[in-house]
Amino acid sequence: MHLFNIFTAAFSLLNIGRGVLGVPNPNSEHNLVERQARTTPILTVFPGQAALPTLADIINLNATNGTFLPIQNIQGDILVGMKKQLETFYFFHINDPASFKTALNSYVPTITSTATLLSPASSQPLAFVNIAFSSTGLQALGITDDLGDSQFSSGMYADATNLGDSLSTWESPFAGTNIHGVFLIGTDQLAPQDSYVSFYVSGIVSTFGSSITEVDRIDASARPGDEAGHEHFGFLDGISNPAVAGFSTTVLPGQTVVPSGTILTGRLGDVALRPSWTLDGTFMAFRKLQQKVPEFDAWTLENAIQNPEGTLTVQQGADYLGARMFGRWKSGAPTDITPLVDDPTLGADPQSNNNFDFAHANSSLISDQSRCPFSAHIRKTNPRADLADANTINHAIRAGTPYGPEVSSSEASSNTSTQDRGMAFVEYQSTIGNGFRFQQINWANTANFPPLKTVTPGIEPIVGQGSPRTADGLNPVDPSVGYTVPQFVIPTGGEYFFVPSISAITDVITAS
């Protein structure tokens, strides 16, 4: 509570934002549960991930760096990364704009700010809720302003073939522009299973009534036990996200610092002209990416590679191939630092697991793939020293959560997926065409990227799309071998959304 007072005072001093934060609405139906004290925070910092700043740390940024972001007005999921145990995506269509606006106005106290997610656990609600709108959603509400992002305006379905997707694998709720918005509900509460999420979903249903219709729902969750923080292929995730000026209070070794405007619309570094009410919003690229896990496991076994000494078992060779496809071992340890064997201590250490840039003394950046293939997932999506400058505008914050069950024994023994699992992928950036879309099209899907290499890098083997799907450099003994990698990640839907600031919801979105 002490921190809250400092923080509220800090903001009233600066006279920015809404002034009061963390005060539950006494009329809110959620108030009953919000009063239950939490002992753990909503967000979980998984092994290997950057810690979250505290409110006090962020206020101190003002003293040291002269500025900090109005985090009481910025929706909570944007800046924090992949730290959810449970996350539900509730996609909706607006039937009745007028009653939707009235309901949303009453619901605003439940929309969770970044400040709330950084506050002490005991003052956090049971779950966070964020809201985002598609372009057709804003239009349905009578907001016809051009937000200055053409991909957002046309929606992801219209962009799907440009991204390399096959429309035949898109699920019907996402095909078209019928989704007007999405509620994100996130919490750490795993037992009793889903009870907090169900509580918030029923709160949405009772608050919004027939003004909206549920179009689709994805219940995502961190994997169980030791796999928590790992995506379904088994690799630790959420390790490398950029530090954001005005928010991140420490910069980890090897971490890129981006201006706040790379992520937040209207901030320094945002390259587009937009209506002033979009300040402190962001664009969210949502992708439902199905993962063929038993197929990936079988293929890496069938194509197991050898180290230069020839000492690996088939299983070790499969793990080695998988690590080279990602550029990290399953523990998160980067192959650029530990090329031949996994190093779980390194993987779990945020002080060192990003401290590399693919350049080495006595190694040629344009030809040497012995440590990390040019086509590896993390090299294609963040080329570090492969590019002459830091390309900060092409960074984005990844914040997705895995969905679907663990692989069953019958799926494993048949090498065939029978259940839907994958990544409810989320990336936040101020310009879709510079962040997610650039990483997907210009980098992952482009065989000649990174440029100026002595050999063609090939397509990124995990999420790269194109035909043929040939990734080079995976075999360290003979990097000229081209691997035609089956598609283990199938895009099955998605949408581009705008995530407004909380004051934009009250002042613009719900205004008539």
Ligand X SMILES: *[C@@H]1O[C@H](CO)[C@@H](O)[C@H](O)[C@H]1NC(C)=O
Q: Any idea which residues carry the catalytic annotation? A: 237
Residue with tokens 């522009």: 177
Query: Taking a C-beta distance cutoff of 8 angstroms, is the pair 150, 427 a contact?
Result: no
Q: Which residues bind ligand X (CB under 6 A)?
A: 10, 13-14, 59, 62-63, 65, 245, 248-249, 251, 257, 298, 301-302, 361-362, 414-415
Which one of ligand X, ligand HEM, none interacts with residue 289, CB within 5 to 8 A by kind?
ligand HEM
Q: Which residue lies nearer to ligand HEM by CB, 422 or 461? A: 422
Q: Please, which residues bridge with residue 498 across strands? A: 133, 283
Question: Would you give the distance in Å from CA 112 to the centre of its chain?
Answer: 17
Number of alpha helices (DSSP H) and beta strands (DSSP E) in the chain: 17, 13
Q: Which residue lies nearer to ligand HEM by CB, 91 or 233? A: 233
Q: Which residue lies nearer to ligand X by CB, 45 or 298? A: 298
* 228: DSSP letter: T
Shortest reach from residue 477's CB to ligand HEM, in Å:
24
Residue 356 lies near ligand HEM (rule: CB under 6 A): no
Among 430, 434, 80, 68, residue whose Cα is nearest residue 262: 430
* 350: DSSP letter: T
Query: Taking a C-beta distance cutoff of 8 angstroms, is the pair 115, 80 a contact?
Result: no
Residue 329 lies near ligand HEM (rule: CB under 6 A): no
Q: Which residue lies nearer to ligand HEM by CB, 113 or 331? A: 331
- Under DSSP, is residue 217 helix (H, G, I), strand (E, B) or coil? strand
Residues 280-299 that bind ligand HEM (CB under 6 A): 287, 289, 291
Among 301, 261, 289, residue whose Cα is nearest residue 402: 289
Q: Which residue lies nearer to ligand X by CB, 17 or 155? A: 17
Residue 436 lies near ligand HEM (rule: CB under 6 A): yes
Q: Judged by CB under 6 A, which stretch of 55-63, 218-226, 228-236, 303-311 contacts ligand HEM? A: 228-236
How far apart CA 20 and CA 73 sit, in angstroms, is 10
Which one of ligand X, ligand HEM, none interacts with residue 328, CB within 5 to 8 A by kind?
ligand HEM
Residue 426 lies near ligand HEM (rule: CB under 6 A): no
- Under DSSP, is residue 183 helix (H, G, I), strand (E, B) or coil? strand
Residue 305 lies near ligand HEM (rule: CB under 6 A): no
Largest CA distance in the chain: 70
- Under DSSP, is residue 4 helix (H, G, I), strand (E, B) or coil? helix
Which parts of this chain interact with ligand HEM (CB under 6 A)? 231, 233, 235, 237-240, 287, 289, 291, 326, 328, 377-378, 381-382, 398, 422-423, 425, 436, 439-440, 444, 462-463, 489
